[in-house]
C-alpha cells in the first residue's frame, strides 16, 4: 500500500484505547467515524483562540472566526466539486438537510397526484420527511423494489417514472447493507421526465470521491460525523436556481436582509437557509476533516478498505451458520448467525472490545422486505481499520458460536 496503516492510526486517538480489557476494535463506522487529531485541534483552537460569532461584527476574533467558518464552506464546495460555495448550506446533518428540502421545496412545489420515488434501501431520514410531505400535499410515494440479491431493481424502477414523477430521493450507499446504488442511471431516468433529484450521500462521502456536477443531481446531502468530522454539522448542496426559488425554512437572526414590523426581506444564498447562530466549531472541524482526507491517497485508502471487505466476506463465508445479507460493496456488512439473536452476539463481541451495531439500522422497511424482523448484526469499515481488526471480529464470532 502507498501508506502505513499503523502510522495513520496514530492520527486517531480514540483507536488507541482498550475496552473491557481488550484493544478497541471499532467496526461501527456507518454510525459515526472516529476523529483525527487535526479535527480535535481545530475545535480546540476555535474555542480557545477564535471564540466569537460570525459575520458583521467589527472586531478581530469575529473576523478570524468568520474567515475560518466561510473557509470551511469553500473546502466543502471543492471537496464535492460544487460550482460555488454559495450552493453549500450548513445544516445539523443529513436528516436536517433532507427535511430542509422536504419542507422548503417539497411542501411548496408538490401537489395532489404528483409522485415521489424512493427505494426500499432508504434510511428513515429519507423516508419519513417525504411521507409528511405526501400527507400534506396529496403527493404519492412510489418505492423501487429489490432484486433477489437485495439490490435495487433497475428494470422495475424504470416502470415507476412518468410525467407525474416530480422527485427522486435516493441514497448513494445503503447504510444497512453496504450496497452501492446505481444513482447515475436513476438520475438519468428522473431527468428524462424532468423530475428533481436528491442524493443522500451520508454513507458515500467517507469512502469514495463525490462530484455533484458529474452526478448532475439537484440536491446532495451528507453529515460531517460520517466524514471523520464533528457531530451536529452537515451539508446541503443544491443547484442555484432551485435554492433561489425555495423559501426559507427557518427564520430569525442571521438569515435576514432587513426587518421591519411591516415586512422582512431575506438574505441571499447561502444565508437565507441558515437562521440563528450556526455550528461554527462544527463547520471549522468539518473543514479540518476535509483537509485530512484530501491530504491522503484516496485511491490507496479505497483499495485498503476493499481488501478488508474481502477478508471479512471470505471469513464469514467460511462459517456455515453465518449468512451475509445482500452483496456488500463498501463500508457495511450485515449478517446473521443461525439461532443467535443479534444483540446477544454483539454483547459477547463487546466483551472482547469489538464494537459493532445491531438492529434495524434505521431501515425498518428494508428489514421488513427482507423478512428480518430482529434486524441484523452490522460491521462497518473505515480506512483506519486493519486486517487485525477483521481477524479479531472473525475470531470473536467463532468464539460466540461455540458459546451458543
Q: What positions carry a catalytic annotation? A: 362
Q: Which three three-digit cell numbers place residue 59?
A: 472586531
Half-sphere exposure of 24 (CA within 13 A, CB side): 16
The candidate with the shortest Cα–Cα distance to 281, out of 54, 33, 36, is: 54
Half-sphere exposure of 227 (CA within 13 A, CB side): 33
Count of beta carbons in the 10 Å neighbourhood of residue 2:
10
What length is written for the chain?
404
3-state SS, residue 266: strand
3-state SS, residue 263: coil
* CA–CA distance, 178 with 334 (Å, rounded to integer): 8
Is residue 266 within 8 Å of residue 258, measured between CB atoms? no
Inter-CA distances, 48 with 42, 62, 64, 289, 370, Å: 10, 13, 12, 19, 50
**In 3-state terms, the chain is what percent helix, strand and coil (to 5)?**
45, 20, 35
3-state SS, residue 200: strand
What is the DSSP secondary-structure string of 254-314? SSEEEE-SS-EEE--TTGGG--SS--HHHHHHHHHHHHHHHTS-HHHHHHHHHHHHHHHHH
Burial zone of 339 (CB within 10 Å; 0-12 exposed, 13-18 middle, 19+ buried): exposed
The candidate with the shortest Cα–Cα distance to 33, out of 301, 249, 260, is: 301
3-state SS, residue 143: strand
Q: Where are the alpha helices (DSSP H) in 53-137?
A: 60-80, 94-101, 107-109, 128-137
Amino acid at each position: 500500500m502507498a501508506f502505513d496503516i499503523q502510522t495513520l492510526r496514530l492520527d486517531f486517538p480514540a483507536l488507541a484505547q482498550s475496552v473491557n480489557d481488550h484493544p478497541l476494535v471499532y467496526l461501527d463506522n456507518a454510525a459515526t467515524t472516529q476523529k483525527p487529531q487535526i479535527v480535535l485541534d481545530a475545535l480546540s483552537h476555535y474555542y480557545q483562540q477564535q471564540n466569537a460569532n460570525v459575520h458583521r461584527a467589527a472586531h478581530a476574533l469575529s473576523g478570524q472566526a468568520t474567515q475560518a467558518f466561510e473557509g470551511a464552506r469553500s473546502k466543502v464546495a471543492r471537496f464535492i466539486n460544487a460550482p460555488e460555495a454559495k450552493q453549500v448550506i450548513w445544516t445539523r446533518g443529513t436528516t436536517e438537510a433532507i427535511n430542509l428540502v422536504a419542507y422548503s421545496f417539497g411542501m411548496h412545489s408538490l401537489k395532489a397526484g404528483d409522485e415521489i420515488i424512493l427505494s426500499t434501501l432508504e434510511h428513515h431520514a429519507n423516508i419519513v420527511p417525504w411521507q409528511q410531505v405526501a400527507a400534506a400535499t396529496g403527493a404519492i410515494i412510489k418505492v423501487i423494489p429489490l432484486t433477489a440479491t437485495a439490490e435495487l431493481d433497475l428494470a422495475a424502477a424504470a416502470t415507476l417514472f412518468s410525467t407525474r414523477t416530480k422527485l427522486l430521493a435516493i441514497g448513494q450507499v445503503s447504510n444497512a447493507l453496504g450496497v452501492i446504488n446505481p444513482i447515475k442511471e436513476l438520475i438519468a431516468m428522473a431527468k428524462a421526465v424532468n423530475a428533481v433529484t436528491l442524493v443522500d450521500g451520508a454513507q458515500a462521502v467517507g469512502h469514495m470521491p463525490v462530484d455533484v456536477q458529474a452526478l448532475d443531481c439537484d440536491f446532495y446531502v451528507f453529515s460531517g460525523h460520517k466524514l471523520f468530522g464533528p457531530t451536529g454539522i452537515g451539508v446541503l448542496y443544491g443547484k442555484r436556481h432551485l435554492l433561489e426559488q425555495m423559501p426559507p425554512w427557518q427564520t430569525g437572526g442571521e438569515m435576514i436582509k432587513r426587518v421591519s414590523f411591516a415586512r422582512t426581506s431575506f438574505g441571499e444564498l447561502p444565508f437565507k437557509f441558515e437562521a440563528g447562530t450556526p455550528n461554527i466549531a462544527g463547520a471549522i472541524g468539518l473543514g479540518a476533516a476535509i483537509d485530512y482526507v484530501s491530504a491522503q491517497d484516496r485511491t490507496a485508502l479505497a483499495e485498503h478498505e476493499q481488501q478488508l471487505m474481502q477478508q471479512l466476506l471470505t471469513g464469514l463465508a467460511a462459517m456455515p451458520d453465518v449468512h451475509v445479507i445482500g452483496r456488500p460493496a463498501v463500508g457495511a456488512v450485515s449478517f446473521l448467525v443461525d439461532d443467535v439473536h443479534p444483540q446477544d452476539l454483539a454483547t459477547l463481541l463487546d466483551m472482547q472490545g469489538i464494537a459493532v451495531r445491531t438492529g434495524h439500522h434505521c431501515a425498518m422497511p428494508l428489514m421488513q422486505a427482507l423478512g428480518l424482523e430482529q434486524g441484523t448484526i452490522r460491521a462497518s469499515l473505515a480506512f483506519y481499520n486493519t486486517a487485525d481488526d477483521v481477524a479479531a471480529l472473525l475470531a470473536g464470532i467463532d468464539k460466540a458460536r461455540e458459546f451458543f
